[in-house]
């Protein structure tokens, strides 16, 4: 069976040469990213060998780094373009195995929209991945409208991936736990915090009317729906049209039309069944979260999905092929 994965990360250390010294000194990469740096930098070595060994047909690559959000507005667009050019160059010998989501300079939304269009038309990128809040701002802010408008025009999705919470949130919720001092990265990020924050991003886009303003826009989120399927029924009752928001449709109707969920990093069946029962099987996309999860973990999970073969095929590749026009 053809297998396509959508949340698979890369990071190229040599791009640090394009960052000002003050940013290099101040930035802090997560421990997980530091431990995985060699795997993140690789495309056609261990990564490709692992894909072949596990039966994965294609990875959609995306940049792990959030350095572009730290740059002054005058430097961010050029940095994003250089990163996307390098990613395209690294993939070019293996188009049957790799495609990509663009890195966008979201602090300069008009330039971000232009970079999205450039990468789609020049390199055949399949959309963009945005990581978390943009310097503390949520994506429903009017300034980010050009990116959503351009994505809808181009017919490509935006993948919203979690990012590191703002310092104020880390201090208030994720620091000084028990008798320890300082933040706890696992609770703040990959163990809980950034998943709930991404769910808030999506609910804010709903309530702000962004999905209705751009009815052909497709949004992807990972990690089996970032907690949204668990809250589906209650949230649908609360965020109904006319209840203080600008949304013209219910949460259920909106998300079944425009929201896609990947399985990245989740390898047990109950969360998958919940996602299917809520957003629907046509909106579920297979992902591994490589290299933070192994390809074999993902394949073992996929092979054990207790559904008919044609429905497993939708998750494995059919929905991604349709959405990304692969």
Mean of pLDDT over the chain = 94
Out of 13-22, 68-77, 174-183, 199-208, the most confident range is: 199-208
Pairing outcome for strands 58-63 and 284-285: unpaired
Residue 30, pLDDT > 70, answer no
Per-residue burial over 229-256, b if 16 or more Cβ lie within 10 Å, else e, is bbbbeebbeebeeeeebebebbbbebbe
Nearest of 126, 67, 114, 61 to residue 90 by alpha carbon: 61
What does DSSP assign to residue 314? I
Active site residues: 289
pLDDT band at 48 (very low <50, low <70, confident <90, very high): very high
Q: What is the pLDDT of residue 28?
A: 61
pLDDT band at 20 (very low <50, low <70, confident <90, very high): confident
Q: What is the pLDDT of residue 283?
A: 98
Q: What is the pLDDT of residue 25?
A: 67
What is the full DSSP assignment across 110-147?
HHHHHHHHHHHHHH----EEEES-BTTB-TTSGGGHHH
Domain that holds residue 210: 4-324
3-state DSSP helix/strand/coil percent for the chain, to nearest 5? 50, 10, 35
Q: 170 or 218, which is more confident?
A: 218
Average pLDDT, stretch 296-319?
98
Residue 131, pLDDT > 80, answer yes
3-state SS class at 160: strand
What's the order of all strands across the beta sheet hosting 102-103?
102-103, 128-131, 158-161, 219-221, 259-262, 284-285
The two three-digit tokens of residue 152, written as one number? 């809808």
Nearest of 10, 9, 32 to residue 186 by alpha carbon: 32
Residue 76, pLDDT > 90, answer yes
- In the block, residue with structure tokens 């025009």: 153
Rounded-to-integer distance, Cα 244 and Cα 259, Å: 22
Q: What is the pLDDT of residue 155?
A: 98
Cβ-contact 313, 303 below 8 angstroms: no
Residue 323, pLDDT > 90, answer yes
What does DSSP assign to residue 288? -
Domain count along the chain: 1
Cα torsion 129, 135, 139, 143: sign: negative
Q: What is the pLDDT of residue 182?
A: 87
17-21, 39-43, 52-56, 181-185, range with the lowest pLDDT: 17-21
Q: What is the pLDDT of residue 285?
A: 98
CATH number at residue 134: 3.20.20.140
Q: For the segment 158-209, what is each residue's pLDDT rounded down to a tens digit?
A: 999 998 888 898 999 999 999 998 888 889 888 998 899 999 999 999 999 9
Rounded-to-integer distance, Cα 165 and Cα 190, Å: 11
Residue 22, pLDDT > 80, answer no
Maximal CA-CA distance, the chain: 55
Question: Degrees (nearest 5) of the Cα angle 105, 115, 258?
Answer: 85
Which residues fall within 8 angstroms of residue 243, CB to CB, at 6 or more apart? none
Neighbours of 24 (CB within 10 A): 12
pLDDT > 70 in the chain, percent: 97
Q: What is the pLDDT of residue 250?
A: 97
Cβ-contact 258, 218 below 8 angstroms: yes
């Amino acid at each position: 069976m053809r297998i396509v994965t959508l949340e698979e990360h890369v990071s190229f250390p040599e791009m640090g040469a394009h960052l000002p010294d003050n940013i290099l000194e101040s930035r802090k990469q997560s421990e997980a990213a530091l431990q995985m740096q060699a795997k993140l930098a690789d495309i056609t070595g261990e990564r490709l060998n692992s894909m072949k060994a596990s039966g994965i047909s294609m990875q959609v690559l995306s940049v792990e780094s959030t350095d572009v959000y730290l740059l002054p507005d005058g430097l961010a667009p050029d940095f994003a373009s250089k990163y996307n050019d390098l990613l395209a160059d690294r993939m070019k010998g293996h188009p049957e195995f790799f495609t990509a989501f663009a890195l966008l300079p979201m602090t300069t939304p008009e330039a971000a929209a232009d970079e999205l269009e450039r990468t789609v038309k020049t390199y055949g990128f399949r959309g963009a991945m945005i990581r978390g809040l943009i310097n503390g701002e949520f994506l429903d802010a009017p300034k980010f409208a050009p990116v959503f408008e351009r994505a809808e025009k181009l017919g490509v999705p935006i993948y919203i991936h979690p990012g590191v919470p703002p310092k104020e949130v880390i201090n208030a919720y994720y620091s000084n736990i028990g008798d320890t001092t300082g933040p706890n990265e696992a609770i703040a990020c990959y163990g809980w915090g950034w998943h709930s924050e991404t769910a808030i991003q999506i609910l804010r886009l709903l309530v702000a009317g962004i999905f209705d303003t751009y009815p052909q826009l497709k949004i992807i989120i990972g990690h089996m729906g970032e907690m949204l399927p668990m809250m589906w029924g209650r949230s649908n009752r609360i965020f109904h049209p006319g209840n203080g928001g600008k949304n013209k449709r219910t949460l259920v109707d909106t998300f079944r039309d425009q929201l896609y969920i990947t399985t990245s990093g989740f390898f047990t069946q109950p969360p998958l069944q919940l996602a299917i029962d809520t957003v629907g099987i046509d909106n579920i996309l297979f992902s591994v979260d490589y290299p933070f999860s192994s390809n074999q973990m993902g394949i073992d999970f996929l092979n054990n999905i207790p559904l008919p073969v044609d429905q497993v095929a939708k998750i494995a590749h059919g929905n991604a092929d349709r959405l990304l026009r692969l």
